[in-house]
Structure 1
């Protein structure tokens, strides 16, 4: 199969028929073999019924329905597990991503041999105050911390080599950082394509200000996990050594001062408590490093989601 189109959604009943028709038209024009995987992330409208109706007309359409809202990362995780295409393309269901971008995104993976191609919505129609400005700050911080030079890290329109989506694990809120996850997994060739951003035709945005706070915290988490998940002692041990040396040197200074000046009081000095605290913190950090070396990062059940129903997926 050439292409798997993955579409997470929440309450998008109005846009689904139009989006599906548009994707089908593009696929037929270019004679691609394809599947469309809709993931209903706990919609409260009739989105799932619309998906079922669409599948009756086209068995290339498949669906996954969550019993409740788990979030976009969970939706992508389940869809990536089910995807069978050589190239996987993700897009949003709100018609702000254009299916006309699919052929070029596919070509860049197949012919240009990119592992991942991320869309860049250079011209946006979002509210400047609530989306554009925070998005620019977020992307600048992500570029600096990850070293991946993408203008729009969180763009929903992306294409992947099949190997990428089968090699990474998306969980929590980590869908924002799939290029970073791919980099840590060893996929180095990441490209970018300017894509069309269209005005929302139906419904309202499902994202608020809190996504930027969560996004920054997730960036710290993924940076730490990417660098130190296989060697936690390299992080905790270094800081443990620093604190322990501070405590040791301070203690040594106090002891020498006591020897030189017998009337010198150890316990009445701020340095005594600084040394004591630093040594304790240093030991604790060392212990955290040792424990981290013993604990596997892949906790069982972390990606266990309650899927209520599937259509066309084993």
Structure 2
């Protein structure tokens, strides 16, 4: 039985695979690590599987699986898990943007005290070579969505990484069935895997040696669907819907307090100042009401530490959300968008900010 199984899903990577195999073998040999290279190919038309079979004849450390009826990186990795013999798994791409020389360090951390080790482009010493502005924006947006919908991504600076290592038990003892979609298998493992400690190793995300990037509209759509699926399976989607429902019910409290202060308590006689004071009272009443419901319902499983600190964080979330809503209302209306549409967009953005801040600061996972 080998020590490590390096799982590499491929599609049209015939030029990259021999270089990867050579560099990986040198790095693992230098570190004294026994390993196998598991190539899971989706029946590439460029002959990648044949190249892999030739590598098996040359090195004897290569296992080749060709899938003819399935497609997708994440499911290919899952197939690799099934056939792998190692105690430890390493997942990486074949395009050499994931440097094989980093693999021994990932394995070293597993053997020390980590269950899952993520090679991060965004940690202190990591970086990305030659990404354009659009690609950086897409990656940043995808990371923010992951942090919002999959709380377990808090353990890493790079939840979108496709380069990581894990103990076999993380997969075999998963808390929920693993059923990944698209390209981001790491999200599935973070959300459902069985682990106690997640570690990071910085690396430089290099240039693709040959072939074309698989990123496209379909991949991005699959990513969004995968995120929503994970949010539903882990209960985070229900939490978000509950948060929105509580916020909607808070509107009644807001309006009621506004009316009471303005009409019944006489603030109306003070003119604009009275209206502002009544509006502030209505806002604060809804904040208190919403906070109490979130404590009892939405985040009842995350009440940690001081209730005062939780309330202050929620207050800040509410203020930020209200400011964002007002900014979108004024900005978009000024730009020519109908004020009702502008306000609706502001409400959605404000809700997202309230939830994100609340879920990460007031009631962190």
- Note whether the superposition's TM-score is higher than 0.5: yes
Deviation at 1:155, TM superposition (A): 1.4
Alignment partners' CA distance in 2, 1:110 and 1:174: 30
Structure ranking higher on relative contact order (CA contacts 8 Å, 6+ apart): 1
> How many residues are aligned here?
236
Structure 1 counterpart of 2:14 = 13
Alignment partners' CA distance in 2, 1:223 and 1:188: 21
Alignment partners' CA distance in 1, 2:50 and 2:20: 15
SS of corresponding position for 2:184: helix
Alignment partners' CA distance in 2, 1:174 and 1:189: 25
* Residues 255-295 of structure 1 deviation map (CA, whole Å, 9 limit, x = unaligned): xxxxxxxxxxxxxxxxxxxxxxxxxxxxxxxxxxxxxxxxx
Q: 1:110 to 1:12 in 2, by over 3 A?
A: same
Q: 1:49 to 1:223 in 2, by over 3 A?
A: same
Alignment partners' CA distance in 2, 1:69 and 1:127: 30
Q: 1:129 to 1:17 in 2, by over 3 A?
A: same
Moved more, 69-78 or 145-154: 145-154
User: Going by fraction, where is helix more abundant, 1 or 2?
Assistant: 2
1:47-126 equivalences in 2 (<5 Å)? 47-68=48-69, 70-111=71-112, 113-122=113-122, 123-126=127-130
Alignment partners' CA distance in 1, 2:65 and 2:23: 21
Q: Does the 8 A contact of 1:130 with 1:209 survive in 2?
A: no
Q: Does the 8 A contact of 2:41 with 2:67 survive in 1?
A: yes
Q: For 1:156, which of 139, 151, 162 is the aligned residue?
A: 162
Alignment partners' CA distance in 2, 1:220 and 1:23: 36
Alignment partners' CA distance in 2, 1:3 and 1:151: 25
Deviation at 1:22, TM superposition (A): 0.6
Structure 2 counterpart of 1:216 = 224
Structure 1 counterpart of 2:37 = 36
Deviation at 1:178, TM superposition (A): 2.8
Structure 1 counterpart of 2:47 = 46
TM-score (norm 2): 0.59
Alignment partners' CA distance in 1, 2:215 and 2:90: 21
Aligned Cα root-mean-square deviation (Å): 2.6
SS of corresponding position for 1:140: helix
Structure 1 counterpart of 2:213 = 205
Structure 2 counterpart of 1:144 = 148
Q: Does the 8 A contact of 1:3 with 1:86 survive in 2?
A: yes
Q: Does the 8 A contact of 2:119 with 2:164 survive in 1?
A: yes
Q: For 1:192, which of 200, 223, 227 is the aligned residue?
A: 200
Q: Does the 8 A contact of 1:37 with 1:62 survive in 2?
A: yes
Structure 1 counterpart of 2:179 = 171
TM-score (norm 1): 0.68
Q: 1:184 to 1:67 in 2, by over 3 A?
A: closer
Q: 1:170 to 1:183 in 2, by over 3 A?
A: closer
Deviation at 1:213, TM superposition (A): 2.7
Structure 1: gaps (5+ residues): 243-314
Deviation at 1:54, TM superposition (A): 0.6
Q: Does the 8 A contact of 1:81 with 1:166 survive in 2?
A: no
Alignment partners' CA distance in 1, 2:220 and 2:103: 28
Deviation at 1:170, TM superposition (A): 4.1
